[in-house]
A and B are shown apart, each in its own frame.
Chain A
Amino acid sequence: MIESTVDRKTRKFRELNFYDQQEENQYFLLPFRFHRLNDAKEVLVNEVGDHLVASAGTVQLLVSKQLSKIEYPELYGDLIANFFISEEQIPPLIDLYATRYRTKKSFLDGFTSLHIFVISLRCEHTCHYCQVSRVTQDKGTFDMSLEHIDKGIDLMMRSPSQFLTMEFQGGEALLAFDNIVYAVTRAKELAPAFGKEINYVICTNLALINEEMLGFCKENSILISSSLDGPSYVHNQNRHRPEKNSYEMTVKGIELSREILGKDRVSALMTTSNLSLEYPVEIVEEYYNQGFRSIFLRPISPYGFAVKNERKNKYETEKFLSFYKKAFARILEYNFSGEFFSEDYATIILRKILTPFPVGYVDLNSPTGAITNVIVFNYDGSVYASDESRMLAEMKDYTFKLGHLDTHSYEEIFYGEQAQKIVQVGTNESLPGCSDCAFQSYCGADPIHNYATQGDMIGYRPTSSFCHKNMEIIRYLIELMDSDKNIEQIFQSWVKQRT
């Protein structure tokens, strides 16, 4: 009886040596990837995105099975605790590890959640980087018909996701405000019957916004996503209006929108043009001065001016990275002086690095966010795999057209041959150059970008601007965190959900 009491299994902590499972200095490698951070350091990243920065040569020591627990107790402990090595062939906590892997991929559970309605292609701006919009009064040709709005909403209601986002884009979406009112009213009517909770977003340059429109937005909890490219001398050059007053109208629109909807209901996005590259600090300061506490330093879009020109892309990416780092330094200065101010692209990547959760950002998902996360209903009823796909279509390339609202069923659009083809090449775990990359779990696959810039959906990483940009930004963020613990604290504050 005494013996059975002693043998009784318990989950209380045992003596330290109980947990030492090592036999004859043996350990087993678990799947991980590594990257040289700089001459002195390398970073190891495991299958769920946990990272460990170590001295150069650590991986060599590890793989040759010469890492001694006695000699490097702290490093050895970190490697065990973070699933880089195991003292048993199958780690005892493999089910926990599998759960973490499942959590990282849980963005797939809801399938398509973001539904973009290109409510009108008409616009009163003539921005030089926009390949899409038309300056015209022809509503019949360039506005989405009520019939197509109905059909788009019907497809949206079939999404497996409980939480949906219905985003109205243009052209200038507010030119078809009546149609937005119609669409929101109908979606709201149908949502309870389908068990959906819908967020509504209007993307607008704010030139046409007025109190009546904002009243409707307030009533229906609609978010406003505007465009601000920087100070007036950058914004007005990028965003042409005959009156040359786009900046003034945007700023006025932001103020009015904040007044009626509340500050947190109005956001702004910038597009980096060649001109913007000369003003990284000024652009950040403009956002700060306009009361924003974050900025999305969006890379130059390859659609239009740099398509299928690999060398030019590489040059443009170098210039963008230089711009990004200068702007980022100014952002960190605000944080060091006690102000919260974050960069959105870094925050997306940092959430992947520092938290166990996935981030539903279309461009950095694997499998690709196109189709599995976002779908676009174009003004003419055509359905596209992403916003970029419809931009290619405006350049007469219909590779990513999945069907039409008049002629194709939900199954044909979302599970059809073309959709399968796109998603199949949109998994970075199996792409050349990506499959061994340490930053795989922080990055994504973008077959549409590959196609647009390199001519095929799989792409070629050594000349890929997508790869070049993401590799360097991820490396830079990890290096910054490793070099200064205060920066890591700042980054931690960015990834926490702010209320």
Chain B
Amino acid sequence: MVKDGEILVFADFNLYSKDAVFKCLYWFGDKFHTGVSFIDSNTYCISLRPLSIANVNSDDLELYLQKLERDLIDYQLRDTIARETQNIRDLLVAKAFSNGEFDEDPPGDVSDPVGFNPNLASV
């Protein structure tokens, strides 16, 4: 909601991670004083108060509220992706910068339909 020239958003702690909330608010720091607090054990209170030098009109606050709500969802999605894929990303980078010693052969044998056996040729 927009109240007294300030944007206030309440977010469920069980739905939004702390990382997602802070990464989202990072991008509002050029125009707003940003604040995060708990109003109870399950709810964040997120506030955005326009910086005096930022020239944010009161009419714009509704648009920024919409952007904040949308960005919170996007950053929660990013957080979910990052958490779910952290191990595979580490594995990918480790393999990329290894010297191939951990690479596995592709599954199956190389077939030899025309009588040229590439496995033998490489010996």
Contact = CB atoms under 8 A, between A and B. Distances in A.
A33 interface: yes
A31 B27 contact: no
Given A31-B81, A92-B107, 5 more contacts: A12-B111, A30-B88, A32-B85, A34-B77, A34-B78
Contacts, number: 87
Given A9-B107, A36-B74, A63 B92 contact: no
Contact of A90 (B75, B80, B88): B88
Q: How large is the interface on B (under 10, 10 to 19, 20 to 34, 35 or more residues)?
A: 20 to 34
A-B pairs, 4 with minimum CB distance:
A98-B95, A462-B30, A101-B96, A31-B85
B1 to A, nearest CB: 23
A432 B106 CA distance: 38
A436 interface: yes
B116 interface: no
A34 B85 CA distance: 14
Interface string B9-37: 00000000000000100111110000000
Interface in A23-73: 28-34, 36, 47, 59-60, 63
A2 interface: no
B74 to A, nearest CB: 7
A463 B53 CA distance: 13
Interface of A: 8-12, 28-34, 36, 47, 59-60, 63, 89-92, 94-95, 97-99, 101-102, 105, 310-311, 432-433, 436, 460-463
A101 B27 contact: no
Given A102-B96, A462-B27, A47 B89 contact: yes
B77 A9 contact: no
B115 interface: no
Contact of A436 (B75, B106, B107, B111): B75
Contacts of A462: 26-30
Given A36-B74, A90-B88, A463-B30, A436 B95 contact: no
18 contacts: A8-B109, A9-B107, A10-B109, A12-B111, A29-B81, A31-B82, A32-B81, A47-B89, A63-B81, A98-B92, A98-B95, A102-B96, A102-B97, A310-B30, A460-B29, A461-B27, A462-B28, A462-B30
Nearest to A93: B106
Given A11-B108, A12-B111, A105-B96, A94 B91 contact: yes
B58 to A, nearest CB: 21
